[in-house]
Amino acid sequence: MAKVKRVPPHEDPHPFNVVYITNPTQDELRKMALEHSPACYVTKYGNVNKIARNKARKAQYTYIIASEKDAHLYSSKVISEERAEEILSDVWDYIHMQGRLIEIQGYYGLGERRFPIQWLYTMPCANIAGMQQVLSFPREAVETKDELKGPYKPVIRVVMVPEFPLPSMPGKQAIIVDLENYITYVIGADYFGESKKGALRMLNDYAYQRGGLVLHAGAKAVTIGGKRLTMTIMGLSGTGKTTTTFSKQGELTQPIQDDMVCLWPGGTISITENGAFAKTYGLLEESEPIIYKGSLDPAAWLENVYTDAEGGFDFSKEALTTEEVKRLRDYLMVTGAPAENLDAYTRGDVKLKDKVDEYGIPADGWDFLVWTQNGRSVIPMARIQGAADLYDIPAVQSMGILNRDEGPDAAMPGIVRFTSTEQAAAYFMLGETTKTSAAGKERGRTRSPFTQPFFPRSMGLQAIRFAELATQILNLQTWLMNTGYVGGDQLDVDAGKALKVKIRHSSAMLEAMLAGEIRWKLDPDFGYEIADVDHPENKSLLEKVPREILNPIIFFEKTDKMEIYRNWVKTMKSARREFLQKYKVDEKIIATIPK
């Protein structure tokens, strides 16, 4: 059995005794992907699409190397050094047997706030190497001429071996995090998000140890009323973070980042990635032209996006017909669909309605009947129209969070303005939303501190750090926006029994807030500010956004559902306080949630 070298990456940049294919070109990576990555093919647009087994990140299979007695110090499960050594030793043996690794040397960030990261991949995830290379800054864009002459010295490493199964572990896979040495091993998982998260998780810790805080947030430069500022938009996957980041407000809107930024003392931010990792479900050229055109660009990489018989995209694909299952059978088999179920469906022995419920959620073993809503595209920043100059980022003046509320008691106002840094820290810590397509079959409300599963240490540390940093930003505006529904879900909207917060509503609310044109009032139940729908100066906003979205209590009053609303208020107050107390958040922050 191989001896696992547990030392920081900069001490041993090439720990495996293999041939390293270092920084291949995008064309070379495409060729490797088509040759070595299962279920990988070229679409009619000339870009590459991969159908992966995993359709999302798997937090339940993530383990930090630590003793059980220290488990409370971390946000993920822990695995003992002995058990981790046992698994990793087998992985090292396998890598040596394969004899080759693709090495991507890159940076997250530019300038002084740059972090060198090394990604190592076995050949079956050549497509992931291609995607990751797009999102990282190459050495040539970051280093000086003298630095380029010397060896590359990574501080973070991700090793990904998707084809290596772990029958002794849940899900036959494991993401093992060596936090002490900033190394992540992704074993048995073939979803790109694990590569991306493997680096960002470590970056979260690396930045935190240096006084900063990484936000799971998009960012854009907005010029409004002649003033240029940076707005950050936090949100879990599926809440509309990328959509909001690329929507237009004011005279000019320039995307900066779509997923992660670092907040530093003094209120400055630094960037992480050199492109966008965009969710494609429901993508339309009319509503999201930048992401739509970028996803069709030959330089983009796609993952889990449905294509028709001609290789064209259907971004809104849901149920598959028997003919479509026949056509895709080989891919579906490779990604884990049971052969007997595939055959039963294509023969007509099983009907769609027998295995898929009213919300489009399939029974176990029948996931192939409904195409995942977590399709993704990786788009180079150079192919994103109107992107900001990443060397010229204006000061942060506006920070928000997205809550995609859904269900019969969905009652979050369309837009909320926080009255204090402590109140903002409470809701940023709560990270509330409804389970989205990125969560698979799970439904219902969820809370994720600072809307992210990337912070590896005790989550309560984030609220303290955020409050410290936010107080250093003069005239900071903090807010929350509901990107989901009021009073129901899509089925209720179709039946005329609920309201959907549409992209045009979100854009109108943000623009009015940034321009200082909203007249606010205190919400009597929660103490944050909401738009005063009775104020005459909000007339223009009300022409663009229904009053029931701005103040949902109106919806519940009109539909004789005030009991549901009152129960929601009571439940949310207690659940929010309980959640914050569980993470030992500062009492000043907890006190902003009324009892």
pLDDT tens-place string over residues 508-556: 999 999 999 999 999 999 999 999 999 999 999 999 999 999 999 999 9
Residue type, position 135, single letter: L
pTM: 0.91
How far apart (Å, rounded) are the C-alpha atoms in residues 247 and 233?
A: 12
Residue with structure tokens 């895709």? Answer: 328
Smallest CA-to-CA distance from 135 within 308, 381, 343 is with 381
Given this model, what pLDDT does residue 266 score? 87
Q: The domain 9-210 is classified under which CATH number: 3.40.449.10, 3.90.550.10, 1.10.730.10, 2.40.290.10? A: 3.40.449.10
Cβ pair 235, 436 in contact under 8 A: no
Residue with structure tokens 């991949």? Answer: 121
How far apart (Å, rounded) are the C-alpha atoms in residues 81 and 329?
A: 41
**Cβ count within 10 A of residue 560:** 8
Cβ pair 187, 161 in contact under 8 A: yes
Burial of 343 (0-12, 13-18, 19+ CB in 10 A): middle
Contacts of 391 (CB under 8 A, 6+ apart): 110, 111
Cβ pair 272, 244 in contact under 8 A: no
Residues forming beta bridges with residue 402, ordered by sequence position: 481
How far apart (Å, rounded) are the C-alpha atoms in residues 453 and 200?
A: 10
Q: Is the dihedral of CA 49, 54, 59, 61 positive or negative?
A: negative
Element (H, E) at 277: strand 275-279
DSSP code of residue 415: E
How far apart (Å, rounded) are the C-alpha atoms in residues 291 and 240?
A: 12
DSSP code of residue 173: -
How far apart (Å, rounded) are the C-alpha atoms in residues 576 and 114?
A: 36
Given this model, what pLDDT does residue 217 score? 93
Q: Given 3-state DSSP classes, what are the helix, strand and coil percentages for the chain, each rounded to the nearest 5?
A: 35, 25, 40
Q: Phi, psi (5° rounding) for residue 290?
A: -65, -50
Mapped onto helix, strand or coil, the DSSP state of residue 101 is strand
> Residue ranges of the chain with pLDDT lower than 50?
437-440
Three-state SS across 438-505? HHCCCCCEEECHHHCCCCCECCHHHHHHHHHHHCCCCCCEEEEEECCEECCCHHHHHCCCCEECCHHH
Contacts of 262 (CB under 8 A, 6+ apart): 109, 113, 203, 207, 212, 213, 214, 215, 269, 270, 271, 272
How far apart (Å, rounded) are the C-alpha atoms in residues 262 and 450?
A: 13
How far apart (Å, rounded) are the C-alpha atoms in residues 442 and 462?
A: 26
How far apart (Å, rounded) are the C-alpha atoms in residues 35 and 29?
A: 10
How far apart (Å, rounded) are the C-alpha atoms in residues 235 and 361?
A: 23
Query: In Å, what is the CA distance from 436 to each residue of 237, 360, 581?
Result: 7, 13, 25
Cβ pair 2, 96 in contact under 8 A: yes
DSSP code of residue 529: E
Mapped onto helix, strand or coil, the DSSP state of residue 560 is coil
Architecture of domain 214-274+390-548: Alpha-Beta Complex (3.90)
How far apart (Å, rounded) are the C-alpha atoms in residues 324 and 51?
A: 15
**Ordered alpha helix ranges (H), 21-137:** 26-36, 81-98, 126-135
Q: Phi, psi (5° rounding) for residue 146?
A: -70, -40
Query: What b/e readout covers 245-261, taking b as 16+ CB neighbours within 10 angstroms?
Result: bbbebbeebbbbbbbbb
Domain assignments of the chain as residue spans, ordered by start: 9-210, 214-274+390-548, 301-376
Smallest CA-to-CA distance from 426 within 595, 568, 586 is with 586
- Directed axis angle between helix 192-208 and helix 126-135, to 10°? 40
Smallest CA-to-CA distance from 132 within 165, 107, 153 is with 107
Residue type, position 404, single letter: R
Cβ pair 587, 417 in contact under 8 A: no
The length of the chain, given as a count of residues:
595
Given this model, what pLDDT does residue 439 score? 44
